[in-house]
Amino acid sequence: MDTVIIDGLSFALPLFIIAIGGIYSERSGITNLALEGLLGVGAFFGALVVALTAGNFAADSQVPFYLAMIFSVLGGALYAMLHGLLCIKFKANQVISGVVINILAMALTSFLTSQINAAVLGKPSNKFQLGVSSRFTVPVLSDIPVLGAVFTDVYPFEVVIILVTVLAWYVLYRTRYGMRLRACGENPHAVDAAGADVAKIRFSAVMISGALSGLGGICFAYSISANFSPNIYVGFGYLSIAALIFGNWRIMPTLGACLLFGFARSGGYKIAQILALPSTFSDLIMTLPYVLTLLLLVFFSKSNRAPRALGEIYDKGKR
């Protein structure tokens, strides 16, 4: 049971922070199917910095880990600007823009990883080696039956994600900026009438979604395989979109969905280990989060209410 909780949290929390990025974008009115690409490109930038600077630090140093998180945030935000420009400046179809950005991200990260490894690092590989992140256990709290697993073998990024989540919740629900951002997704003309710049608010929201997606992407890279490869995050962006839809575009219900997906994944993996199933059946069990996603959307989609202006191109002259 402890293993299920520990592994479930290490999967659910990166998924959650990516979903929060999606909430910021979509509550502002910009449909963001590009989360998959944003987390991949963000993780690429962070992993690249680690690969280029790893030789400057001791083997057990955690400085590269924190550098990776910082540059993943910056890389994700930078790449998200492309989605913002297409959807806001050039008024492109937001769904098509997201799909194209995902495809472009996969191709770019795969190509650049192989080329940089060959030309700069002298390694014929399509992966960036990250190393193993340290983990810690909280004394006393870890001794609590069942719940103690939450405080056992904790990745540092889990603490970072919790702190960022608190900040993101406060900004979205307790600040003037957050109020205007949410209003942009409901009635952008009212925001414009109040003197705020709808385009700037939406553009900043898309950049925030890229930053948070990049953070989640590098966390997945560290927790899943200790290296960066364009293949490790396939499907996670779409799973985070399903989580925010199930959470009705609200942060705390979305956390519940991400925890459900995380525990379904770790629980499925544990079942495969206990039953000593061959790899073919293990892969089948690992699809549990996606099957669960389909079931949840079937039963709860009728009660979901998306922001009223979600996906609508804002035209200042239209009333």
Question: Which of 115-129, 240-254, 264-278: highest mean pLDDT?
Answer: 240-254
* Positions of E strands within 105-236: 128-129, 227-228
Instruction: Assign 108 to helix, strand or coil.
Output: helix
Strand partners, 228: 128
pLDDT in tens, 175-214: 999 999 999 999 999 999 999 999 999 999 999 999 999 9
Q: Is 315 inside a domain boundary? A: no
Q: Are 254 and 244 in contact (CB under 8 A)?
A: yes
Is 80 exceeded by the pLDDT of residue 296?
Answer: no
Q: Is 312 inside a domain boundary? A: no
Looking at residue 60, which CATH number applies to its domain? 1.10.3470
Parent domain of 16: 2-300
pLDDT in tens, 13-27: 999 999 999 999 999
Is 70 exceeded by the pLDDT of residue 279?
Answer: no
Q: Is 42 inside a domain boundary? A: yes
Mean pLDDT of the chain: 89
Q: Is 319 inside a domain boundary? A: no
Q: Is 102 inside a domain boundary? A: yes
Q: Is 318 inside a domain boundary? A: no
Q: Are 155 and 277 in contact (CB under 8 A)?
A: no
Domains of the chain: total: 1
Structure tokens at 113: 């990883």
Q: Are 152 and 142 in contact (CB under 8 A)?
A: yes
State if pTM tops 0.85. yes
Angle at 83 (CA atoms; ends 79, 88), nearest 5 degrees: 135
